[in-house]
Amino acid sequence: MEFYRSHVLICGGTGCHSSGSSDIREVFQTELKKNHLENEVLLVQTGCFGLCEVGPVVIVYPEGAFYSRITKEDVPRIVSEHLLKGRIVTDLLYHDSIHEDDAIKSLDEVNFYKKQKRLALRNCGVIDPEKIEEYIAFDGYKALGKVLTEMTPEETIELIKASGLRGRGGAGFPTGLKWDFTAKAKGDKKYVCCNADEGDPGAFMDRSVLEGDPHCVLEAMAIAGYAVGADQGYIYVRAEYPIAVKRLTIAIAQARQMGLLGKNIFGTNFSFDIELRLGAGAFVCGEETALLASIEGKRGEPRPRPSLPAVKGVFGKPTLLNNVETYANIPQIILNGPEWFRSIGTEKSKGTKVFALGRKIVNTGLVEVPMGTTLREIIYEIGGGIPGGKEFKAAQTGGPSGGCIPAEHLDTPIDYDSLSEIGSMMGSGGLIVMDNDNCMVDIARFFLDFTVDESCGKCPPCRIGTKRMLEILDRITKGQGEEGDIEKLETLGKNIKASALCGLGQTAPNPILSTIRYFREEYEAHIRDKKCPAGVCQALLQIVIQADLCRGCGLCVKVCPTVAISGERKSPYVIDQNKCIKCGACLEKCPFKAIVKG
């Protein structure tokens, strides 16, 4: 490999990609040529750095200068100042990455990264995901080599069991135990599958791993194949993830070429290959029986399951299914040992978890923290708090299957068990932050709307039950709620949970039940007082003119599109609530701020 004195890492994750990182790469290429630096400076397109909020992000080594929100126009300056003359362009640096005296902090010192522990994401933003050599340079495929040449399948399973790793796809099932079941199942042919369906709206950690470090998933699947006795793997990835699909395709081809997939890997008699299966992106296809059916080319519908996939999975053969992030932890557990992994996290949840921070948070993006980190640390120390200094109201974890966490639980150490205790769940790791401008009834409605849409319709409790719940919520947000609606929602919710066929239906009522649990008074305000305390539900909003502030100028009358305002000049005007469509035009126009939402 050539020696380059400087490496320019450009984030090529989906977030930065859509904010223009590929254009930036091109401009870098031309500018480097122009300054004759192309043989000294290496351009590297990496996976996600996590700080999507300030993307596109560019990091220049060896200085470790962290440039944020870079535009094409900034590139010539970075090249001519920093790369040619060695003067870091301080005004383009991420604000939290410099000390007061302008010296550059190392990445571990930046608040966003300080409390993070990047295991699953360790290579994301560090290596070029399209070069297998770079993965190998960071100890890639060494765990596979070690397992194949030094360990038996049984020892491998024991090691994973001892690490305490639990599935990151949602349910938190002990991974080693699952491997053991599959290994012990009888069958001449077995399969290893990877769930990369990632259907939770607002979650993108699996995508980031696949985009930033595809080889670690391939390596882990091969290790799993050796442990359970499988020679074929499938990765089920949604077609809506084109960059992930492209990098996986490249990675598989490179691994085959190097003989890290295929026949007689590491000179042993173990053979393993992996194929991609593209999903059409239905949420229910992430459910394991539906996913396995879809891999077979059948309709992605859940099946009633008398037997586990470990016994009867793809094509009726024993099948191991794990999530992307679960796999991403495997190689390091093998290399560093189970004790190392057990030393991170809480008593019953070991290791780290990746969360996708979204909505009302300063640093939207991807963070990985040890299990047991509190919500407060994630939101305030890593996430940078809530924009505009607003007050935290609740966080939703687990997406459409999870629930909300109110402010009183901000200091709960987060792990699988503590989250279910407070009525939510880990889920895949979506973490949506809400402030006082968010209406909890509306949030519950948003998630239920999603599940009603995504329900496959196979079983009545989910197909009809969730629809009924949505109708009730709709009524409540429109001001037509009735006494007894809350109790109806609770009963329906309990019944659906108990009778739906698959996890989608069984968890669909969770967002509603948990918002009722913590914000019952907000539901009551909608139903009894016909008010939305957060001012979100349009139908419950009233726009009123405060008589004592109104000077009777008449400007509002002119802008109202529905002629809802009437009155005499020079005396207070009034709004006819029956005609008002709550467009807010008058509110903006009033020079005396006499018109308010209430």
Partner 1 sequence: MKSLQELEQIKQKTLDSVSLRKDRAGGIRIVVGMGTCGIAAGARPVLMSFLEEVQKRNLRDVTITQTGCIGVCRLEPMVEVTRPGEEKVTYVKMTAEKAKRVISEHIVNGKIVNEYTIGAAE
Ligand X SMILES: Cc1cc2nc3c(=O)[nH]c(=O)nc-3n(C[C@H](O)[C@H](O)[C@H](O)COP(=O)(O)O)c2cc1C
Q: How many CA atoms lie within 13 A of 495 on its CB side?
A: 15
- Both structure tokens of 86: 């060695």
Nearer to ligand X, 83 or 237 (CB): 237
What is the rounded CA–CA span in Å between residue 431 and residue 375? 10
Check binding of 501 to ligand SF4 (CB under 6 A): yes
Binding range to ligand X, per CB under 6 A, among 92-100, 254-262, 315-323, 432-440? 315-323
Binding range to ligand SF4, per CB under 6 A, among 136-144, 169-177, 197-205, 495-503? 495-503
Nearer to ligand SF4, 455 or 515 (CB): 455
Nearer to ligand SF4, 214 or 509 (CB): 509
Is residue 208 within 8 A of residue 48, CB to CB? The reply is yes
Cα of first residue to Cα of last residue in the chain, in angstroms, is: 66
| Length, in residues, of the chain | 598
Check binding of 455 to ligand SF4 (CB under 6 A): yes
Per partner kind, with CB cut-offs from 5 to 8 A, the member of ligand SF4, partner 1, ligand X, none near residue 447 is none
Q: What is the dihedral of CA 594, 595, 597, 598, to 10 degrees?
A: 60
Is residue 544 within 8 A of residue 587, CB to CB? The reply is no
Residue 25, Cβ neighbours under 10 Å: how many?
18
511 preceded by a cis bond (ω within 30 of 0): no
Among 125, 140, 214, 286, binds ligand X (CB under 6 A): 286
Nearer to ligand X, 223 or 284 (CB): 284
Check binding of 379 to ligand X (CB under 6 A): no
For strand 543-545 and strand 595-597, is the pairing parallel, antiparallel, or unpaired? antiparallel
Check binding of 51 to partner 1 (CB under 8 A): no
Least distance (Å) between residue 370 CB and ligand X: 18
- Both structure tokens of 68: 């944020």
Check binding of 242 to partner 1 (CB under 8 A): no
* Cα separation values, 87 from 81, 104, 110, Å: 5, 12, 21
Binding range to ligand X, per CB under 6 A, among 75-83, 104-112, 166-174, 485-493? 166-174
Check binding of 304 to partner 1 (CB under 8 A): no
Among 25, 238, 458, 526, binds ligand SF4 (CB under 6 A): 458
What is the rounded CA–CA span in Å between residue 206 and residue 203? 8
Among 457, 491, 494, 539, binds ligand SF4 (CB under 6 A): 457
Check binding of 387 to ligand SF4 (CB under 6 A): no
Per partner kind, with CB cut-offs from 5 to 8 A, the member of partner 1, ligand SF4, ligand X, none near residue 368 is none
Residue 84, Cβ neighbours under 10 Å: how many?
16
Per partner kind, with CB cut-offs from 5 to 8 A, the member of ligand X, partner 1, ligand SF4, none near residue 583 is none
Largest CA distance in the chain: 93
Least distance (Å) between residue 3 CB and partner 1: 4
* Cα separation values, 561 from 564, 579, 593, Å: 8, 10, 19
Residue 438, Cβ neighbours under 10 Å: how many?
19
Nearer to partner 1, 5 or 597 (CB): 5
The binding site for ligand SF4 (CB under 6 A) comprises 284, 302, 455-459, 462-463, 500-502, 504-505
The binding site for ligand X (CB under 6 A) comprises 167-171, 173, 195, 197-199, 283-284, 286-288, 321-323, 326, 428, 502-504
